[in-house]
């Protein structure tokens, strides 16, 4: 089978990057207010948090615009998720219990449920592990791919995944 390679929407990634840069700059402004004594400490702490989180996020999004890498790959091996900073990487077909759609805060996600609920958490580094643990409390699935960020229609994506998944299920029987 030929791989299905799906890229992120460049315009959307650029938009997220710009918003993160602006929010990071606002966080820096709040931090500077604390330093010069014009803001209480909690405002400064919020500023530091905004600066760090949005600063790193802006790097991720701008990098995705410059280095155009696939967000999602569906192959004979499994599904490779590189759609976000905490993307799961390759999830083998043998590890996948179910695939479906879920919605959180009005945004549709391709949801991949694994037999081992801690599969993704256990194989990531410390920063990603913390983010994945937080994600686990928000959504029941182990891999959550934001469909709106993918440059493929939802129906086409689901159809192609279903075909490959069924083919893999037949091979394992």
Structure tokens belonging to residue 102: 């879920």
Q: Express as a percent the part of the chain with pLDDT over 90.
A: 46
Classify residue 155 by burial, with Cβ atoms within 10 Å: 0-12, 13-18, 19+.
exposed
Pairing of strands 89-92, 4-6: unpaired
pTM, 2 dp = 0.80
Measure the N-to-C terminal CA separation of the chain; round to a whole number of Å. Answer: 19
Confidence (pLDDT) at 137: 62
How many CA atoms within 13 Å lie on the side-chain side of 168?
20
Confidence (pLDDT) at 152: 92
């Amino acid at each position: 089978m030929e791989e299905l390679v799906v890229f992120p929407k460049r315009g959307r990634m650029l938009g997220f990057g710009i918003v993160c840069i602006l929010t990071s700059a606002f966080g820096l402004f709040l931090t500077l207010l604390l330093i010069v004594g014009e803001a209480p400490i909690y405002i400064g702490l919020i500023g530091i948090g905004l600066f760090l989180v949005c600063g790193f996020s802006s790097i991720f999004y701008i990098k995705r615009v410059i280095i155009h890498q696939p967000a999602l790959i569906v192959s004979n091996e499994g599904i490779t998720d590189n759609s976000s900073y905490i993307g799961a990487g390759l999830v083998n077909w043998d590890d996948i219990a179910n695939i479906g759609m879920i919605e959180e805060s009005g945004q549709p996600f391709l949801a991949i449920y694994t037999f081992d609920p801690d599969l993704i958490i256990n194989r990531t580094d410390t920063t990603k592990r913390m983010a994945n643990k937080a994600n686990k409390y928000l959504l029941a699935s182990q891999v959550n791919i934001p469909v709106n960020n993918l440059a493929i229609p939802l129906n086409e994506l689901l159809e192609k995944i279903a075909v490959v998944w069924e083919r893999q299920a037949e091979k394992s029987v």
